[in-house]
Amino acid sequence: MRVLMFGWEFPPHIAGGLGTACYGLTRGLAKNDVEVIFVMPHAYGDEDQSYVNVVNASDVETSFATMGRDEEFWKNISFINIDSNLMPYMSPEEYVTEKHSSELAGKNHVDGDVWKQRYNFSGKYGANLMEEVARYAMVAEQVAKNLEGQFDVIHAHDWLTYYAGLAAKRVSGKPLVVHIHATEYDRSGERVNTQVYDIERAGMAGADLVMAVSDLTRKIVVEKYGIDADKVITVHNAVYFADTDEKEVERGVEDKIVTFLGRITYQKGPEYFVEAAAKVLKRTKNVRFVMAGSGDMMNKIIRRVAKLGISDRFHFTGFLKGDDVRKMFSLSDVYVMPSVSEPFGISPLEAMKSHVPVIISHQSGVAEVLDYAVKVNYWDVDAMADAIYGLITYPAFSKMFANKGLEEVTGLKWENAALKIKKGYERVLNKNK
């Protein structure tokens, strides 16, 4: 079986859990005899292709003369304000000038190979994200044409790639599976970005099968997006164990270290971590708190730490990835994930893999598969502080959670998750026969 998969990131160039999940998933699928062609907006060339064939969308030449013929499909991306004469690499000012001169010359339509272009995607989450999502869909259509007859199923990860998946389905007729790693309700609460919500809903509605990373996420998909429950299945994430041994890291302090690692945004609950830290520090001073990550709440959190008078016990590392993440876990005595809404949450699994006891919120999907994690409500900073204090103060308590947690997480393998995904592929293929 061959799968045409659309993602947005892939290690080592990742911004969060999505790339990590795609890596583990593709390895798991390979071990279940599923061949994956993984398309991403911008590949750097150093991605691990041992188990996957990576296609760089920035290298795909697309003929835009053929675009727009199926108005029923392309109206779905009409929110992108891109005129048909827009050329890549133009600044807004250059575009206005060029468009004006073209209109004066009556050049409102151009035929032929003039319209064969390559877009140099950034592959990032910047100001041009919506534009790149639309362009990615156009390139996806070309990729599907180029690979005609070479894949059986299309698999798209998160809202960034749903239009790409729909475009590939439209031209190939192959079934589409969309993978929900997070929804707009997780990222923004009830104040959803309607553009993103519309893309998510269109992707789910147009898919043959929807895969959610937790029962929590599945419930949101059914209730908030109105998707038929029979079309939505849960496939929990797992953790990848590298073959190399963990390197021992030398500690520079004797204090216990409690770590938060993730985006410093509303969804991840960083403010609750800070409030719990302040309560712990009223009971003991032999502890340091580390916030590893970056995000739109960074300045607010720094000001709150200063106001609470705990700056000398609180450290900000900035965004970490790869070996730096593993090093941070090796230095940690406790890992805390106080997410307000977490579809799954791979980082606690990575911490447990490093023999670190974890505290997670009940509002996380990973809570569904873990018995040996301390679970609290994200808003209950007293319970969170008590759990942190207990784990750094009582060695037997900490050792039990670390040892049992490592045993538990060892059983959460990507091969098992991938087998369930493969069965999902078989389900849609049999339905389409």
**Residue 62: per-residue pLDDT:** 74
**Residue 123: per-residue pLDDT:** 74
- Whether a cis peptide bond, with omega within 30° of 0, leads into 12 is yes
**Residue 213: per-residue pLDDT:** 95
Domains, the chain, in order of start with CATH, read 2-238+417-431 (3.40.50.2000), 256-410 (3.40.50.2000)
pLDDT digits (tens, 9 = 90+) for 11-67: 888 776 788 899 999 999 999 999 999 999 988 888 888 889 999 998 888 765 444
**Residues of the chain where predicted confidence (pLDDT) is lower than 50:** 65-115
* 186: number of Cβ within 10 Å: 22
**Residue 89: per-residue pLDDT:** 36
**Residue 99: per-residue pLDDT:** 43
**Residue 245: per-residue pLDDT:** 55
**Residue 48: per-residue pLDDT:** 86
Strand partners, 53: 37
